[in-house]
């Protein structure tokens, strides 16, 4: 769950930054570069996490909980939005849409995990 929360924090931060430029997504050069760098960091860390989980899954190193929730949540979030964004992409409506889709996906999975954990208690 910690991995999903960390990824969600990065996505939320980008979402907040992009919200500041809505609807035209015009930023000063410094802010635009900051957003592009954060997109690159997000893409790299999500890709690394997704690959790490796939490798652990293939080697049978994931717990049942991680196989049922963490790996699908990260993969789903990555494929629905993060994968579609170029590294270092400039702020735009399209990028913001992918970030919003990723955030929504992560929030969905967090809700599912919390619901499952509350039923198990």
Any idea where the domains of the chain sit in the sequence? 1-120
Q: Respond yes or no on whether the N-terminal peptide bond of residue 77 is cis (omega within 30° of 0).
A: no
Alpha-carbon dihedral angle through residues 82, 41, 54, 105, given to the nearest 10 degrees: -40
Over its length of 121 residues, how does the chain's per-residue pLDDT go in tens digits? Answer: 899 999 999 999 999 999 999 888 889 999 999 999 999 999 999 999 999 999 999 999 999 999 999 999 999 999 999 999 999 999 999 999 999 999 999 999 999 999 998 987 5
What does pTM read for this prediction?
Answer: 0.90
């Amino acid at each position: 769950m910690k991995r999903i929360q960390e990824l969600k924090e990065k996505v939320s931060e980008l979402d907040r930054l992009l919200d500041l430029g809505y609807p035209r997504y015009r930023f000063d050069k410094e802010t635009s570069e900051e957003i592009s760098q954060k997109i690159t960091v997000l893409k790299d860390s999500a890709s690394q996490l997704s690959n790490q989980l796939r490798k652990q899954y293939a080697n049978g190193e994931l717990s049942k909980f991680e196989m049922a929730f963490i790996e699908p949540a990260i993969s789903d979030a990555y494929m629905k939005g993060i994968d579609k964004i170029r590294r270092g992409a400039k702020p735009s409506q399209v990028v913001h849409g992918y970030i919003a889709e990723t955030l929504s996906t992560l929030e969905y999975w967090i809700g599912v995990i919390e619901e499952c954990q509350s039923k198990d208690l």
